[in-house]
Structure 1
Amino acid sequence: MNLTLRGRLPENRKVRAGLAILVFFALFALAGPFLVEDAFGLSATAIHTADGMQPPSGAHLLGTTATGEDVLAQLVVGSRVSLLVGLVAAVISTTLSVLVGVAGGYLGGTPDALLTAGTNIALVIPSLPLLIIVASYVKGRGGWLTVALIIGLTSWPWGARGKRAQTLSLRRRDFVTAAEMTGESRWWIITRELIPSMAPLISASFLSAVVLSMFADAGLSFIGLGNINLTSWGSMLYWAQNASALARGAWWWFIPPGACIAVVGIAAGLINFGIDEIANPRLRKPGRAVRRRAAAAALRTPEEAR
């Protein structure tokens, strides 16, 4: 990431708001389970049938499930699994898309033809049915890491195509030509010149991949193809739907996990918008000082302006 982009990131309000939300959820996932279980004595798996479907109260701030499990405890414990799935899957898909897209776009010739053909074949196959088929095949054979691998390995092609197009526009720039003339290796140029120049695109695609991976995990769990015995935001939605929580008016069971997924998506969107504003001068808004000077200049009379 270049120095200009790095220096402007903390100053952008959208980036600061998005990062604040993500940091909150990261702390929520890391420290929350210990606080909930140790400080408040709540358990995400303890069953108390007599307390089933209790609305929010002092004893259970977010109510209980049909079997009396505390929804707040499940929300806190499940955040760790959902965020880990989104993060690991995004790392896998982004890494594959960068390697395939940048290498193909820069190398050209036969390597580019082979990588592009592989990308196009992967794009032709509908990702959602493929994801469902693979997830159903390995159902019950692994935990959250298996789900993250499945999502990451089936969601890279679109990112690879975008990064290849960006690489094609960069490979004839002066800084790449200068590196080639000094005798730098292709791998050095790809890792030291091209990838850093694409930092805004890569960071934006990574954040989008995190959110999309969380949505995919929640969707797989919702239809019963994820590990429903592992507490996550997706499994909470599955069990809520299985117990007809919507029909029974138990809003406290399905709204909190859905809202958490939505808020994480909003945070990623804010960071993406902020990066776009920083990287693209046309989207950049003038600062307060510039706006004040422009307003003062607009109020000046023609005589004062002279």
Structure 2
Amino acid sequence: MRFRVNPKTGTGLGVLGFFVLIAAIGPWIAPYDPSAMGPDLLRPPSMRHPFGTTQTGQDVFSQILVGTRGVLVVGLVAGLIATVLSVVVGVTAGFLGGTADEVLSALSNVFLVVPALPLIIIVVSFLPDASDLVIALAISATGWAWGARVLRAQTLSLRQRDHVEAARATGEHTWRLIVFEVMPNLTAVIASGFVGTVIFAVLSEITLSFIGVANISNWNWGTVLFWAQNNQALAQGAWWWFVPAGLSIALLGTALSLINFGIDEFVNPRLRTSGRVRGEKGARTRAGFTPVVRTGGDRS
């Protein structure tokens, strides 16, 4: 219950839900074809074009609406695949131990030291048609190792708990011990890792599009920034060409970060306690109670 009523989490989920809605219906409600050229060249925001137009007359508002789907698809798909890989590798290594732990830990270490973004750029640049799904697969293949290390460390602690030992003593199979005794205690950690991976995937997708490595015919916020930068929108004073995409990226990143902060507070008792103490102090201050610092000489 604390997690659901956390104001940070509620705000983050609200903003994320808004972007998910736009991703679902954006192509249907877009007033224009994002690639269609029009007679209104490089016009500022107006009733006809809420976010203005490009120098070829394309509607920026339609580009933002249509491009939201690509950003979220890559982020969520990459986050889901990377999280599944991290759970399989990390929990298996931590629970089984021995040779399996050594092999899987070595595999995680290899992917940890590999520079993720340069490798993604190389992989995507060699593909003839880098679709959103291909980019999501490339990002997830390099984004699971850190989560696997965290889950391994948590599993090493959980596998020695009394309830796990009691279940093992009753003859439970290994897979049942992992699924029913260990995994429920890792839910918040897995959720936090998923959110972090989604943030990494979204930024990676936008970066690939902005530098022109991804297919620039597929609209997303990075593609909007790519064309704005190539056509020197800043030099021409066309702030409406790049500001909406930048604000969208900032809002989505903030929403995901707020969700992650909420998960951290739910997992970490210290954060919950400190937040509750600060709230109680603020309530006492608002009620008119002023804290008094007592010293050794005031005992008389």
Match of 1:151 among 128, 136, 139: 139
The answer as to 2:25 corresponding to 1:26 is no
Which whole-Å CA distance do the structure 1 matches of 2:205 and 2:278 have between them? 42
The answer as to 2:69 corresponding to 1:75 is no
Structure 1 residues 57 and 118, CA, compared in 2 at 3 Å: closer, same or farther?
same
**Uncovered stretches (5+) of structure 1, i.e. residues with no partner:** 1-6, 302-306
Which whole-Å CA distance do the structure 2 matches of 1:181 and 1:240 have between them? 64
* Cα deviations by residue, 1:248-296 (Å, 9 ceiling, x for unpaired): 2211111211211111111111111112222222111228995688667
Which whole-Å CA distance do the structure 2 matches of 1:251 and 1:225 have between them? 24
Which whole-Å CA distance do the structure 2 matches of 1:300 and 1:53 have between them? 60
The code of the aligned residue for 1:132 comes to I
Match of 1:46 among 36, 41, 57: 36
Which whole-Å CA distance do the structure 1 matches of 2:104 and 2:14 have between them? 38
The answer as to 2:94 corresponding to 1:100 is no
Which whole-Å CA distance do the structure 1 matches of 2:189 and 2:169 have between them? 27
**Uncovered stretches (5+) of structure 2, i.e. residues with no partner:** 293-300
Question: Hey, what does 1:117 align to over in structure 2?
Answer: 106
1:84-233 aligned at under 5 Å gives the runs 84-138=73-127, 140-233=128-221
Question: Hey, what does 1:55 align to over in structure 2?
Answer: 44
Report how far residue 298 of structure 1 moved: 5.9
1:246-257 aligned at under 5 Å gives the runs 246-257=234-245
TM-score of the superposed pair, with normalisation by structure 2: 0.90
Which whole-Å CA distance do the structure 2 matches of 1:247 and 1:292 have between them? 48
The code of the aligned residue for 1:82 comes to V
Question: Hey, what does 2:276 align to over in structure 1?
Answer: 286
Report how far residue 182 of structure 1 moved: 1.8
Structure 1 residues 280 and 242, CA, compared in 2 at 3 Å: closer, same or farther?
same
Which whole-Å CA distance do the structure 2 matches of 1:297 and 1:51 have between them? 60
Report how far residue 85 of structure 1 moved: 0.6
Report how far residue 82 of structure 1 moved: 0.6
TM-score of the superposed pair, with normalisation by structure 1: 0.88
- % same residue: 48
Report how far residue 12 of structure 1 moved: 0.9
Question: Hey, what does 1:245 align to over in structure 2?
Answer: 233
Which whole-Å CA distance do the structure 1 matches of 2:180 and 2:232 have between them? 54
Cα RMSD (Å) of the superposition?
A: 2.2
Per the alignment, in what secondary structure is the counterpart of residue 10 of structure 1? Answer: helix
Structure 1 residues 155 and 292, CA, compared in 2 at 3 Å: closer, same or farther?
closer
Which whole-Å CA distance do the structure 1 matches of 2:58 and 2:107 have between them? 47
Per the alignment, in what secondary structure is the counterpart of residue 286 of structure 1? Answer: helix
1:285-304 aligned at under 5 Å gives the runs 285-286=275-276
Report how far residue 57 of structure 1 moved: 1.4
Match of 2:256 among 249, 263, 268: 268
Question: Hey, what does 2:298 align to over in structure 1?
Answer: none
Report how far residue 147 of structure 1 moved: 0.9
Structure 1 residues 176 and 297, CA, compared in 2 at 3 Å: closer, same or farther?
farther
Tell me the matched-pair count.
Answer: 289
Question: Hey, what does 1:304 align to over in structure 2?
Answer: none
The code of the aligned residue for 1:15 comes to T
